[in-house]
Structure 1
Amino acid sequence: MPKMYSNFFTPAQIGIIFSMLPIARFLTPFLFFKLTINKTTFLISLIISTLAAFLLLSHNFSIILTAFFFIGASFSVIFPYIESIAIEKLKEKYGQARVFGSFGFMLFGIIFSYFKINFIYVFIILIILTNITSLYFLEDKSVKKEKESINFLIAWKFWLALILMQISFGGFYNFFTIYNLNHHIPKEINGWLWAIGVIAEIGIFLIQHKFIKKFHPLFWIKLSILLTSIRWFMLYIFAGKVIFIALSQLIHAFSFAIFHTSALLYLSKIYKNKTLAQQFYAGIGYGLAAFLGSIISGWLYGEHLFLYESVIAILGFLIML
């Protein structure tokens, strides 16, 4: 957490602040059972997230909490709106556009690790620049005003598997570095292990359009979940062995890149209201499930953490069968 916040809030308060993003991402889609995601709601979301970003400069806990919630809620409209356009126009080539996000994430981590800077200022600037860039999509004619609601029952296996899949990531995102340090892997090596995952993700995003359309999206979803379970099991049985952990990180190409693209393609096939479907995908997968995964991983943390995470992921695979 930025030094600016750690000087004013307790660890418990900081944890609550960060929880607002996934909670907002989960709750916001339910508002659109009756409302329509269109250019107006998209523009309003851009304005709200921009104004909320400036509230992050406050030292007041309630104001910061409110700001993070509104940023999360706004992004729950902005990103599905943009991604629905991308998946509609690009289809299987969507990954070639998504690669810039992965590259930016890696570049951000590398560049700013060498600078002593308050990341709140960087975060605010990035939000503003993202929103300015997003204005380009306001005039896009491919976004249809679909009012049809989402019937979770027609794809209940997918939604449940999505939850289990993302819960299994809790241990990885929260404790991967700590787990490795406890098994005597230096922090410098940990940085490269994280980078391997991102590089694998970028690589597969660039080439997946060449093969992903050869099979139904459900095939790739099932395969990705199965490989993710194997990935966590490798972390368990090869704890402390850098080569095998590096190999497990290569599976991130499937755990995130292939899974994400295939999930969006699948949702676009079965739901008319594609934007709302993607809102719920983000809200349930990266909101509710991420929140639960973070809590559960804290309960499970120990020598058997990634064994448990492997079992959680394989349950998702079995449900899909």
Structure 2
Amino acid sequence: MKLNLSFYYFFYFATIGIYVIFFPNYLKNLGYPPEEIGILFSALPISRFITPFFFQKKAITTTIFKISIVISALIPIIFFINNFFIYLIGFTILGVVWSINFPYIESLAINKLGAHYGKTRLWGSVGFVAVALGLSYFNVNFIWLFLILNLITSYFAFYFINPNFSISKYYEKIDFLKEWQFWIALILLQISFGGFYNFFTIYNLSNGIPKEINGWLWTIGVVAEIVIFIYQYKFLNKNNSLFYIKISLFMTSIRWFILYLFAGNILLIAFSQTLHLFSFAIFHTAALMYISSKYKNQTLAQQFYAGIGYGLAAFLGSFISGYLYGKNLFLYEAIIVFIAFLVIWSKK
């Protein structure tokens, strides 16, 4: 099971790497204006946010899981057609099926592996880095590679249709008020990431950091998350998951504040990138463990975690960061995530 999960994470996040890093520039080279690219890349996170609401009264069945895997494997074919509305439909459908497939497997992984989840999940980070660095040196047809990676990812996803790997299913709705502090903190954290994902490179370039150095600064963050994924099982069970959520929020606030105070300082910005181990790796694993312990309908809880955090909040963060961009961008982002820390601090 661990081996198949590792392969799944590797190829899934390699696919995400193409979508995040290279697809926008690919569309730009096809002649799409920025506003149309913005619309296209808002379709997937919004559909990821909306999809879980359709499963409030119905669990993901084996049939639904199979259908979504097949669609996920084949939908990239339509991207060979250069048409704005075709791309919009494609990204929307991908958002729906990814909102079904990935949370199902995530809930299975955290349920079976617990604190050891990170040692398997790290292969997703490896896949992302492999694409980010590898495709920087090779010219390939991104649509063909996107299709092939989706096919391989779907192949490994089919392995988890086996009933031996199913988790218990409950048809309960997700009560957001029950854990409102967590959901608000998640939203604010991911909103704060909007400035980082959209403007980190631009911010560094404008402060005199060369393009080549920026690539390594991004890599430092991913390497930090890989390292902590390997070793987090040693300490995650020593305190409850809420403790690690709190400290991750606080350290993320420190991370953004360093970017604000020391713009252009390569060494300190490199140090701030190591804090990605809190911002993503520790927070992510602790959050999955937390919601799995609070909600019986674990798959649906994972769907909402992905849909709200990486769908709605990511969309809002991207939108808001455009208005906040300037020399104070990361000061604002630090304040946003510190508010998240204050929101959840008093929760026991």
TM-score, normalised by the number of residues in structure 2? 0.90
CA separation in 1, counterparts of 2:125 and 2:171?
32
- 1:185-204 residue pairs with structure 2 within 5 A? 185-204=209-228
Distance 1:4 1:307, change over 3 A: closer
> Which of 164, 175, 183 is the matching residue for 2:188?
164
Question: Is residue 210 of structure 1 aligned with residue 234 of structure 2?
Answer: yes
CA distance in 1, matches of 2:30, 2:108: 42
The letter of the residue matching 2:256 is: W
Distance (whole Å) between structure 2 residues aligned to residue 15 and residue 118 of structure 1:
22
Residue in 2 that maps onto 1:303:
327
Q: Shift in Å at residue 156 of structure 1?
A: 0.2
Q: Secondary structure at the match of 2:60?
A: coil
Among 54, 59, 62, the alignment partner of 2:77 is 54
Partners of 1:87 and 1:25 lie apart in 2 by 20
Instruction: Provide the residue aligned with 2:26 in structure 1.
Output: 3
| 1: CA distance, partners of 2:125 / 2:274 | 14
State the one-letter code of the partner of 2:116: K
Correspondence 1:93 to 2:116: yes
More moved, 5-14 vs 293-302: 5-14
TM-superposed CA distance for 1:118, in Å, is 2.6
1:102 correspondence with 2:125: yes
Q: 1:19 aligns with which of 34, 42, 57?
A: 42
Between the aligned partners of 2:169 and 2:277, the Cα distance in structure 1 is: 34
CA contact (8 A) 2:118 2:232 kept: yes
- What is the alpha-carbon distance in structure 2 between the residues aligned to residue 285 and residue 240 of structure 1? 30
Query: Aligned in 2, Cα 1:307/1:2: closer, same or farther, shift over 3 Å?
Result: closer
The C-alpha deviation readout for 1:111-166, integer Å capped at 9, x for no partner, is: 11111223222111111110111000010433223211100111000000000000
Structure 2 equivalent of residue 239 of structure 1: 263
Selected match of 2:162 from 126, 139, 143: 139
Q: 2:315 aligns with which of 284, 291, 296?
A: 291
Q: Which runs of 5+ in 1 are unaligned?
A: none
CA RMSD of aligned residues (A): 1.1
Give the alignment of 1:238-277 within 5 angstroms.
Answer: 238-277=262-301
Q: Establish whether residue 175 from structure 1 lines up as the match of residue 199 from structure 2.
A: yes
Q: Which shifted more, 227-236 or 58-67?
A: 58-67
Q: Which residue of 2 aligns with 1:38?
A: 61
Structure 2 partner of 1:111: 134
Alpha-carbon distance change, 274 to 117 in structure 1, aligned in 2, over 3 angstroms: same
CA distance in 2, matches of 1:6, 1:26: 29
Residues 27, 37 of structure 2: 8 Å contact kept: no
Three-state SS of the structure 2 residue aligned to 1:272 is coil
Would the alpha carbon gap of residues 103 and 252 (structure 1) be closer, same or farther in structure 2, given more than 3 Å must change? same
Query: For 2:28 and 2:326, how far apart are their aligned partners in 1?
Result: 29
304-313 or 18-27, which moves further after superposition? 18-27
Q: Does 1:228 align with 2:252?
A: yes
Given that 1:3 and 1:118 are in contact with CA atoms closer than 8 Å, whether structure 2 keeps it comes out as no
Instruction: Name the counterpart of 1:219.
Output: 243
1:55 deviation in Å? 1.0
Give, in angstroms, the shift of residue 14 of structure 1: 1.3
Q: C-alpha displacement at 1:81, in angstroms?
A: 0.6
Q: Which amino acid aligns with 1:255?
A: S
Residue 2 of structure 1 and its aligned partner are, at CA, apart by 4.6
Percent identity (aligned): 56
The one-letter code matched in structure 2 to 1:221 is: I
The alpha carbon displacement at 1:96 in A equals 0.6
User: Aligned partner of 1:173: which letter?
Assistant: Y
Q: Which residue of 2 aligns with 1:316?
A: 340
Partner SS state of residue 135, structure 2 = helix
Question: Closer, same or farther in 2 for the Cα pair 1:4/1:150, shift >3 Å?
Answer: closer
The one-letter amino acid paired with 2:61 is: N
Measured after TM superposition, the shift of residue 10 of structure 1 is: 2.0
- The number of aligned residues is 321
- The gaps in structure 2 that reach 5 residues or longer are 1-23
Distance between the aligned counterparts of 1:5 and 1:303, measured in 2? 27
Secondary structure, in 3 states, of the residue corresponding to 1:178? helix
State which drifts further: 299-308 or 26-35: 26-35
SS in 2 for 1:56: helix
